[in-house]
Amino acid sequence: MIQPETQTPPSFMEWKELTSLVGSIRTHSLVARPTTIEQCREALAYCRQRGMTICARGAGRGYGDLALNDGQALIDMSDMNRILDFNEEAAQITVESGTRLIDIYQAVHHRLLTLPASPTESHSSVAGAICANVNGKDAWRHGSFAHQIVQITLLLANGETMTIDRSHELFNAVVGGIGLLGIIVDVTLQLRPIPSPFVEINRIPASNTDALLDKMARIETSHDAAVVWVDAYARGRKTGRSVIHAAKWIERHDSESRRREILEAGYNRLDEHRRFGLALHEKFGPVLSLMLQAQRPMMYSFNRLYYAMCQLVSLTGRSSNTELFLRFCFEASFTVPPAYLVCGPHGYTVQLTFPRSSAREAIIELLGICQSSPCPPVTTILRAHKPDDCLISFSEDGYSLNFEFHPKKRHEAASRRAVDRLIDATVRRGGKIHLAKDQVLTPEQFYRVFPRYRDLLAIKQRLDPDGLFTSDLARRVGIDPALNKK
Ligand SMILES: Cc1cc2nc3c(=O)[nH]c(=O)nc-3n(C[C@H](O)[C@H](O)[C@H](O)COP(=O)(O)OP(=O)(O)OC[C@H]3O[C@@H](n4cnc5c(N)ncnc54)[C@H](O)[C@@H]3O)c2cc1C
């Protein structure tokens, strides 16, 4: 039931300060935290009556401004996190949109099921994963999150709900649609059977770009998931020097109760690592930042050492081990420092895809741009992808490079120029930018990367003619309906 106009917001709405994950964007918004669809409708009605725009937010684990709405309203869906149905025979699960991916694992993994396309951030919500159309380490095999969705319930600006399955004309607009068409209320996902919760991990060094692409081509047929650590500091013939971490599911014959025990210990260990990692980084974060003042020599030496160690281990034939998939998939998000420490107060994260056909040239060019910056990236990760049909899609038949930059204050402008050059090079090569990791894209760049944005806006005009749903990102990249009406 929609409430009549009131002066004060409903009790589940309050003004709050919010920052982007990297910490450089600070906002103040009226945040609603509904627990039911009725409260969602109430929040929409309240905003409509006051001429406020609204932006849906999941777990807020995107790096930039895609789930922020400065001076306006946010609807934080994280308390709508119930598991509504689990159809084991069909391997499908229906959850409320704020459910975190790790909660789905906890519900089904012991039944020998997995959710492909899970990003490293296990605390991402299902709706956040849909709207940013995230990708996992298995992206070339199982595609992006779009490929895992069976059905979505969408709450429209007018308060009505709509059921959208894969054959619905709006499917490819809502998925990857950065929350601009409505509020996702619940979702049914397709899970996949696995032989056990364990994978065999192989660490495979590659001496340069040619070796990397050659080995990746083989791994893409022999393995189920892979992620590549790239040494962005290696130059000349060594450009593209890297270590591929490739995983394949293995058979094991544990009883279900034993599997539950093993997994329970696995979740606890991830939690402990998160607490330990956070405590460590809170304590030593400033020291890390200080050390990064000498980041060029430090990263150069660290990378050389890491590569040499992996090469040595691979020569001794001990570069494989068995571990829980959970750990392979999510560990980094538990142990790697939070984004504001990795990237620092002046930093950037950017993930760029480029087509397979020009992968060699793209990798060499993008790493060359990084090396010309006074502060090359502190982490560089490569993944393989496969395309989908979403209007705003990051995935394609190719690879992506993810860079994290931690520039010193005096190098902030130079670092920004490097990021702009990376984006321009990617756009020129017909590549894409991951919006969940972007905080700098301009309208001109956005229009070139995602030319089907016009189709998205046409659908938005139909579903949300008053432009109720928007975000800071939509305003920045020039797709806010208010801007387009001018
Ligand atoms: C450590 C780390 C590792 C990461 N690894 C990966 C990775 O491997 N692969 C990858 O692709 N991404 C990765 N990410 C990015 C992250 O997975 C995505 O940003 C994801 O979208 C975060 O989900 P969220 O619930 O926090 O979404 P939010 O950031 O809260 O929102 C994301 C988008 O979804 C919209 N939205 C959220 N909920 C709703 C709703 N109910 N209805 C309508 N719209 C909604 C928001 O408006 C926004 O546009 C990583 C992030 C971190 C911090």
Answer whether 180 contacts ligand 1 (Cβ < 6 A).
no
Does some domain include residue 104?
Answer: no
Provide the number of structural domains found in the chain.
2
Does residue 395 share a domain with residue 310? yes
Does residue 392 share a domain with residue 471? no
CATH number reported for the structural domain that contains residue 406 in this entry: 3.40.462.10
Answer whether 124 contacts ligand 1 (Cβ < 6 A).
yes
The single residue listed with the structure tokens 């956070």 is 278
Does some domain include residue 273?
Answer: no
Does some domain include residue 100?
Answer: no
**What pLDDT is attached to residue 484?**
59
Q: Residue 1: which pLDDT band, with cuts at 50, 70 and 90?
A: very low
Answer whether 56 contacts ligand 1 (Cβ < 6 A).
yes
Does residue 250 share a domain with residue 316? yes
Does some domain include residue 229?
Answer: yes
Residue nearest to atom 41 of ligand 1 (CA): 184
Instruction: Give pLDDT tens digits for 328-357.
Output: 999 876 666 677 777 877 788 999 999 999
The rounded distance, in Å, linking the Cα atoms of 98 and 81 is 5
Q: Beta-carbon neighbour count of residue 354 at 10 Å?
A: 25
Answer whether 135 contacts ligand 1 (Cβ < 6 A).
yes
The answer to whether residues 146 and 388 touch, using CB atoms and an 8 Å cutoff, is: yes
Amino acid at 428: R
Instruction: Give pLDDT tens digits for 112-162.
Output: 999 999 999 999 999 999 999 999 999 999 999 999 999 999 999 999 999
The rounded distance, in Å, linking the Cα atoms of 185 and 95 is 9
Min mean pLDDT across 35-44, 85-94, 305-314, 328-337 is at: 328-337
Answer whether 362 contacts ligand 1 (Cβ < 6 A).
no
For residue 433, what are the domain limits? 198-256+294-441
Does some domain include residue 174?
Answer: no
Could you tell me the two tokens for 424? Answer: 């321009």
Does some domain include residue 278?
Answer: no
Does residue 361 share a domain with residue 426? yes
Does residue 460 share a domain with residue 380? no
